[in-house]
Amino acid sequence: MAALPIFISTDEAAHRLGISEARVRHMIEAGTIKAANISGETIVSEASIRGLIPKEELPEYQKYTNLKGTPIWISKAARQYHVTLSVIQRWVVRGYIARLGKDKNKILLNEQDVAYCAEIYHQSGGQGKWLFNPDGSPYVLRSEKLQAPA
């Protein structure tokens, strides 16, 4: 069963995006953000703003703030987070996971990034799916972004 779309107020959208409510309304008029009017109140499709929010401000990322800057070896990360080494390496190359340096022949990664990426990976059912936007935020299908009430 498909999840129902989630809608938020323009005020909440402005807060999440770190912009003014007037700017949100301008983005709605320009078609950048999908919205609808219900009982005279404008509501915004959460999916349509998702790709506009930096990954560092997403709840999925923030719940791992205790791991920020914590180094983890790439092979240990693969074992601990149940993701193949090649997938983690691909995330590093694409910039979704920050390299913290090297310890002899071991590549050290930011564990916060690893934990976040692994969560998105497991939520999405794993391999064979487009998981991230270029900025590292979770990828949302265009059809999901465009869903709005009639």
Considering the domain architecture, whether residues 78 and 48 belong to the same structural domain is answered as no
Count structural domains, the chain.
2
Question: Using an 8 Å Cβ cutoff, are 141 and 133 in contact?
Answer: no
| Mean pLDDT (whole number) for 57-84 | 93
Residue 145 lies in a domain: no
pLDDT digits (tens, 9 = 90+) for 91-135: 999 999 999 999 999 999 999 999 999 998 998 776 656 788 777
What is the predicted pLDDT for the residue at 112?
97
The reply to whether 18 falls in a domain is yes
Q: Is the residue at 140 inside a domain?
A: no
- 28 and 44 in contact (C-beta within 8 Å)? yes
Q: Say if 31 falls within a structural domain.
A: yes
Whether residue 141 lies inside any domain: the answer is no
**Domain extent at residue 91:** 59-123
Domain contains 130 = no
CATH number where 117 lies? 1.10.1660
Per-residue model confidence (pLDDT) at position 88? 95
| C-alpha to C-alpha distance for 23 and 21, rounded to whole angstroms | 5
